[in-house]
Amino acid sequence: MSGETSSLASSNQTINQSGTFIVNLVYSRTELASGCTLAILSPITVTTNVLLLTAIFKDPLKYFKKPTRYFVLGLSGADLLCGLFVEPFFALYYFGRFFRASGEFQAISRTLFLIGSVISTASLNASFVMVLMLSAAQFIAIEYPYRYKTWIKKKFVLPSVLATWFYFILFSLLSILGVDRDLFFKLNLTIHASLISVILAILQILTYKAFRVHSEHQKIKSIASSLSRSSQIDSPQNGNGRKLLMKKSFRCRGLDRHFMVMTFYLSAILLFSAFPHIGVFYAFLYRQPQSMSEELKLNVLLRITDLLLFVKVAADAFIFAWRLPTYRKSLDFLITGKLPQLETGV
């Protein structure tokens, strides 16, 4: 009987070791896939954000005049830092681990990985706040249009962006200044990633509801205005002037709508990438793994959800190009020199 028990225990141990080996192999392959993905995302992220920053800074067609451009600059700057430093440093570290590089190479890649982690903490958190501020500005524009120009001014927006970066740079340095690693991760996860994401999700719901109400009011006003014009006999000169005014009004409204929809997409992709990462990170920090295999599975999920965040970083500039005609026209002018019809931008 004891022999059967010993044989069963030995069999279970062999199965557990085999399962751990398989999960370890999966984790190793996940790191390789992460390294390859980041190596592809890095040049894409850098190129697209350099183009975006160039278009906004040069602003050849005078489209980007509003104070909200500083939020866009803050977001693009955060994405550019990820593309320049975080993604290649992480990729190098993953490649070194997978290919079992020399001790010296692994030491260098480990140091670069730690530097990339610090930059990642600052830049990703800052990008979250920039999207949150953009969303708040859009909500104010819809819900409190008469106060928008009073509240959203350069003297408020620019210091807010700079203060955000200053705070997150200081906070990210705590990880290399002796603060307990788990405590640092828990603070960052709770008061930054989780809180900002929840507030952003609530704000997007409120903005969507406010936009629906605003759209209904605009339809009613448009119908009433059409009825009023049809009952009046205007001179050709006044009629032409009114048509031009209406055309300009609708054009500006359309551009604001583009910017608002662009902000919705930025928020949506941020929340889509953030919530899975937050959930897995909570499990990683607060759940005690029952086995090595379970710990490896959590690490695999962390690597995958990390990639979601970096895909979000690479996608931001594409969302600008997709949803903002003003950006596409500025970029086209910078590249080809063709001058489109000027419009009032955001």
CATH classification of the domain holding 203: 1.20.1070.10
Residue 28: exposed, middle, or buried by beta-carbon count in 10 A (0-12, 13-18, 19+)? middle
How far apart CA 5 and CA 22 sit, in angstroms, is 26
Q: Residue 135: what pLDDT?
A: 94
Q: Which residue has the higher pLDDT, 289 or 222?
A: 289
| Residue found by looking up tokens 């009114």 in the block | 242
Q: Is residue 6 very low, low, confident or very high in pLDDT (cuts 50, 70, 90)?
A: very low
Q: Is the dihedral of CA 133, 157, 119, 83 positive or negative?
A: positive
Q: Residue 323: what pLDDT?
A: 87
Q: Is residue 174 part of a domain?
A: yes
Condensed to tens digits (0 to 9), the pLDDT of residues 292-323 reads 888 888 889 999 999 999 999 999 999 988 88
Give yes or no for a contact between 346 and 66, defined as CB atoms under 8 angstroms apart.
yes
- Please determine, for residue 259, whether its predicted confidence score (pLDDT) is greater than 90: no
Q: Is residue 15 part of a domain?
A: no
Q: 107, 170, 128: which is closest to 277 by C-alpha? A: 128
Q: Is residue 342 part of a domain?
A: no
Q: Is residue 185 part of a domain?
A: yes
- Please determine, for residue 165, whether its predicted confidence score (pLDDT) is greater than 50: yes
How far apart CA 83 and CA 51 sit, in angstroms, is 13
DSSP assigned state of 60? T
Show the domain range for 89.
29-229+237-336
Q: Residue 253: what pLDDT?
A: 43
Q: Round the average pLDDT of the chain to a whole number and report it.
A: 83
Give yes or no for a contact between 200 and 125, defined as CB atoms under 8 angstroms apart.
no
Q: 156, 154, 128: which is closest to 64 by C-alpha? A: 154
How far apart CA 288 and CA 291 sit, in angstroms, is 9
- Torsion, Cα 59 62 68 69, to 10 degrees, reads 0
Q: Is residue 133 part of a domain?
A: yes
Q: Is residue 10 very low, low, confident or very high in pLDDT (cuts 50, 70, 90)?
A: very low
Q: Is residue 191 part of a domain?
A: yes
Q: Residue 281 has which token pair?
A: 């990170």
Q: How many domains, the chain?
A: 1
Q: Is residue 16 part of a domain?
A: no
Lowest-confidence segment of 47-56, 127-136, 222-231, 330-339 by average pLDDT: 222-231
Condensed to tens digits (0 to 9), the pLDDT of residues 66-124 reads 899 999 999 999 999 999 999 999 999 999 998 887 888 889 999 999 999 999 999 99
Give pTM, 2 decimals. Answer: 0.84
State which H helix or E strand residue 107 sits in.
Answer: helix 103-143
Q: Is residue 11 part of a domain?
A: no
